[in-house]
Structure 1
Amino acid sequence: FRPTTVYQKPQFVIDGYQRGDLDQGEIGIDQYKRKFLGFELNHHFYLGNCWFIAGAGAVTLNPDLLQRVVPANQSFDENNYSGIFHFRFWVYGQWYDVVIDDQLPFHTDGRLVFCRNKKDKNEMWAPLLEKAYAKLCGSYEAMEGGFTTDALIDMTGGIEEAFELNSTAAATADFKEQIKRVLWQAYLRKSMLGCSITADPKVTEAKLSNGLVKGHAYSITRVADVTTDVGSITLIRCLNPWGNETEWNGKYSDNSKAWDAISDEEKQELGVRALHDGEFWISFDDFYANFHQLHICHRGPASLGTTEDDAGVCSWNNLFRDDKLTWQEELLHGEWVPGSTAGGAGQPNKEKYWINPQYLVRLNFIDEGDDENLCTMIIALMQKGTRQRRIEGLEGEDYVQFRVFKVRSLYC
């Protein structure tokens, strides 16, 4: 149905774009039983696109990024309404417009089936964004399962970095401090953050006794240091895209007595609220002990920001407004072709290793303020068509890698 036939006054956006606008809609149990299972269950199920909702929620914290994905001047106003909306996504180095109509899946009681604003059902930008992304993926069904950084990259053109928090290395105090440092640096640089807990192989989104959910994607919406009676500690604010009471229930949760040790001024500045909205605070120590993955999408040259004039035309301006930040980007498309450019990993056929694609890079400039006279280079490797392969029942990704070698000046 079109929103105009279900609601009396649908609007594209109400009171700006907020992280709480995106609530992961649930599939009604009767529909789920009928369509998928054929037997009785006692709880509701969600479309497995929490990774997309978490990613979109993180992007709302960066208005300059969001305005590129969600172009301005779209409306249900009767003078401008045509039933057509468009959104932008970054795909393998290029920004593409995705155009959709506004027909959305609704329950018989008037609720949207998938993404929606639980607080104000008349706001439509989030479900329309989800529909546009589903079109990019191939269908709503194709959005079943994914990683938060998948959505973040598609909405920013940024560069992914992931950390395993339950690895052997993670057991060391040095690694834990490194993660805290990385988390702070990424947050201060306006990188987008997410986290998750490894799923059980045979259980989808299993809820733990502490309120967290396995196999589920969360946005990280803030990092802050607070003063307590035992000194300063780092707190992390996370958002569950279900947007309900399923939240962390341990220390620094909504009704935790740990907040009594923090001043009213700090609590007010942090915006601490006891609401069943899916958003909660957790200490860094508990975060590190309970979450298994930290996902970071760094803002690269493709996501430094845009502005839009009244006509909705992008002008590409660097909204960081930092003269010290200068990027040079090279984007190369290639492939491994058997007998031509597929040289393998060096074992067992060492003699063919050299035929793999090679790229020569010269680092001519030193980072300003770097005491060691170093230049930063970030390398990212991406595979194409992985989601489509998973839809077809194939292995989504092949094992690929890049290796970096220092070349003697003689060959440069």
Structure 2
Amino acid sequence: MSCEHSPAAFKSKKPPQQQVHNFWDRYITKSPGKVTTIFPPSLYSSLLPRPSALSKYDTTTSPTTTNFGASYAAAADACRAKIARIVRDCHRTNSKFTDPDFDLKGNQWDCLLGLNWRSPPAKGNPAAVEDALGTLERMQVFDGTDCLQLTVPVLRKIMGKRVLDEEQEGDNDEDYDPEPKAVHRVGWIFEDPKFEVDGFSSSDIMQGSNSLDCWWLSAVATICHRRELMDKICVARDEECGVYGFVFYRDGEWVYTVVDDHLCLTNGDYEGGGHDPSNAIVKKWRRDKQTGSQALYFAACREENETWLPLLEKAYAKAHGDYHAIWGGWVGEGVEDLTGGVNSELALEDVLFKEKLWKELVNENGNFVFGLDILDRNGSDKNGLANAHAYSLLAAREEEGEDGKTVRLVKIRNPWGARGGDGMGEWTGPWSDGSKEWTPYWLTKLDYRFEDDGVFWMSYNDMLHTFTNLYRTRLFDDEWAVAQEWTNVNVAWVSGYLQRKFVIEVKTATTAVFVLQQVT
């Protein structure tokens, strides 16, 4: 195809600014009109009752029904096709994949903080200290001897917000200020990287510096012992090209996310000087500070060369916009996003029939997965378990002891993995590691051994009295059909607000699940 530049054609066009004016003149008028004229005419159809039949339901439309498995398959196939296109392009250009939409290497802070972006704090900067002291002086917080009186009221005045007392101090959304010191590819970080080693397991999970995504890590731990569920999430990859594809459930449909293999590291590249002709110092620094799972800034697998968890976390962060977006949440929401299930929350002190709940926890058909949390308003810890923290329920067992009495036990995991520096992280009550309840008989019976891995057992009754909420997620298989209808709920400018109703007709006996949801 050829193109010819005609001078006459250019002369016939209006100047660019005039074209802009003409465009806006079509939408702007000097004569005021009704405010409702900015709304599309179809808006009123959902607000006003139909004049012809106020008492009748609108049956002119019905939601489209899709098979649960078919809708997942469509997203998974699209993900695999995109991975295949990326791999072909990588081979053509002889270059590994770099994700332009989530580039940790080239656009780090947009990936970490997104719309909450702010420059990392300057530490040890004399000019910044001088400016800060000048601000404090203008606010008259110094006394006559130029001593700074940092009382709580003064701090409130300086910061313009409530300052927590030491007893109330804890994690806060405003404290999120990630500072990874380097970003490198999987092949650079790991000596012998493998996406998975001996399958997926809750024991793989170690929480990273994004300390308030424990809810999501707990969600992963509740399902990662189910191979069929994990394989539905991690659908395609090419480790040579550094591209990985995952499928999540968002706002009523399956969506796929593709990421590259750049990951954040806690320690930066070596910057020391000195004579190092053999490069030995740099090699030692990299081996000690930047190699293996322990070097990662965010979540990591316990096995030094396993990569599935940090890559899954990165994809989940991308699906929500940035790492900051997954800073805080609920276990059940995470399980929903990973499985397409439907979650319900149950306050454990409100349980009506403990026997009925126990049968659900045993979960012989595998229709449910469960998470737990502790939300004590008094801020107290519970026999070694951290408050304001999420946990995974891995198993429920009813077994007979040596004395012939049955015991109901639950197996739980803390996403920290290992205990904290203060020894917190695992249950210290009955049936905790090393407690008197663990006889050789029980260790063999439950195939259990004491480890600092975040996994512990406790009695069913202790679970009910220790944890605050249970998150119960119902899973679906390919036999389920899904029908959904989304509608806008607007603040009305007219009377008769929100007269539309929805009618669901079940013509044959069946199991049905109904969900009300807002777009996230």
| TM, length-normalised to structure 2 | 0.55
Identify which of 137, 145, 158 aligns with 2:328: 145
In the alignment, residue 196 of structure 1 is paired with which amino acid?
D
**Structure number having the greater helix percentage:** 2
C-alpha distance in 1, partners of 2:346/2:266? 39
Match of 1:82 in 2: 241
In the alignment, residue 318 of structure 2 is paired with which amino acid?
K
Matched, 1:358 2:517: no
Identify which of 92, 116, 119 aligns with 2:300: 116
- Give deviations 1:240-296, integer Å, cap 9, x for gaps: 000013200111112111122xx73x6435221100000111100100010010001
User: Is contact 1:247-1:279 (8 Å) kept?
Assistant: yes
User: Is contact 2:360-2:368 (8 Å) kept?
Assistant: no
Identify which of 496, 508, 511 aligns with 1:376: 511
Match of 2:437 in 1: 258
SS of alignment partner, residue 264 of structure 2: coil
* CA apart distance, 1:209: 5.1
In the alignment, residue 333 of structure 1 is paired with which amino acid?
W
SS of alignment partner, residue 244 of structure 2: strand
- Give deviations 1:218-239, integer Å, cap 9, x for gaps: 1111111011337212111001
C-alpha distance in 1, partners of 2:382/2:224? 30
Aligned length: 306
Q: Who wins on radius of gyration, i.e. which is larger? A: 2
Higher normalized contact order (CA 8 Å, seq sep 6+, divided by chain length): 2
In the alignment, residue 9 of structure 1 is paired with which amino acid?
D
Match of 1:34 in 2: none
Match of 1:11 in 2: 194
In the alignment, residue 268 of structure 1 is paired with which amino acid?
T
Greater mean alpha carbon deviation, residues 16-25 or residues 232-241: 16-25
SS of alignment partner, residue 438 of structure 2: helix
C-alpha distance in 2, partners of 1:87/1:237? 28
Identify which of 213, 223, 237 aligns with 1:49: 213
In the alignment, residue 20 of structure 1 is paired with which amino acid?
S
Q: Measured at CA, do residues 364 and 269 of structure 1 come closer, stay the same or move farther in structure 2, by a change above 3 Å? A: farther
Q: CA RMSD in A?
A: 2.3
Matched, 1:232 2:406: yes
SS of alignment partner, residue 234 of structure 1: strand
User: Is contact 1:336-1:356 (8 Å) kept?
Assistant: no
User: Is contact 1:197-1:291 (8 Å) kept?
Assistant: yes
Identify which of 378, 381, 392 aligns with 1:219: 392
Identify which of 424, 444, 454 aligns with 1:268: 444
C-alpha distance in 2, partners of 1:357/1:178? 38
* CA apart distance, 1:161: 1.2
* CA apart distance, 1:94: 1.9
- Provide structure 1 residue ranges, at least 5 long, that are not aligned to the other structure: 28-45, 305-317, 319-325, 343-350, 367-374, 386-412
Match of 1:21 in 2: 204
User: Is contact 1:62-1:190 (8 Å) kept?
Assistant: no
Matches within 5 A, 1:95-114: 95-108=254-267, 109-110=289-290, 111-114=295-298
SS of alignment partner, residue 230 of structure 2: helix
Identify which of 400, 408, 418 aligns with 1:244: 418
Q: Measured at CA, do residues 377 and 209 of structure 1 come closer, stay the same or move farther in structure 2, by a change above 3 Å? A: closer
Q: Measured at CA, do residues 360 and 59 of structure 1 come closer, stay the same or move farther in structure 2, by a change above 3 Å? A: same
SS of alignment partner, residue 411 of structure 2: strand
- Provide structure 2 residue ranges, at least 5 long, that are not aligned to the other structure: 1-183, 268-288, 420-424
Identify which of 50, 69, 92 aligns with 2:251: 92
- Give deviations 1:106-139, integer Å, cap 9, x for gaps: 1122210111012x12111110000000111111
- Give deviations 1:315-335, integer Å, cap 9, x for gaps: xxx4xxxxxxx5332122122
SS of alignment partner, residue 126 of structure 1: helix
> What is the percentage of aligned positions where both structures have the same residue?
28
In the alignment, residue 113 of structure 1 is paired with which amino acid?
Y
Greater mean alpha carbon deviation, residues 129-138 or residues 174-183: 174-183
User: Is contact 1:218-1:240 (8 Å) kept?
Assistant: yes
Q: Measured at CA, do residues 84 and 64 of structure 1 come closer, stay the same or move farther in structure 2, by a change above 3 Å? A: same
SS of alignment partner, residue 104 of structure 1: strand
Match of 1:197 in 2: 374
Identify which of 482, 487, 510 aligns with 1:334: 487
C-alpha distance in 2, partners of 1:290/1:63? 30
C-alpha distance in 1, partners of 2:321/2:384? 33
C-alpha distance in 2, partners of 1:159/1:19? 21
- Give deviations 1:54-74, integer Å, cap 9, x for gaps: 1111121221121111115x3
Q: Measured at CA, do residues 288 and 364 of structure 1 come closer, stay the same or move farther in structure 2, by a change above 3 Å? A: same
In the alignment, residue 255 of structure 1 is paired with which amino acid?
G
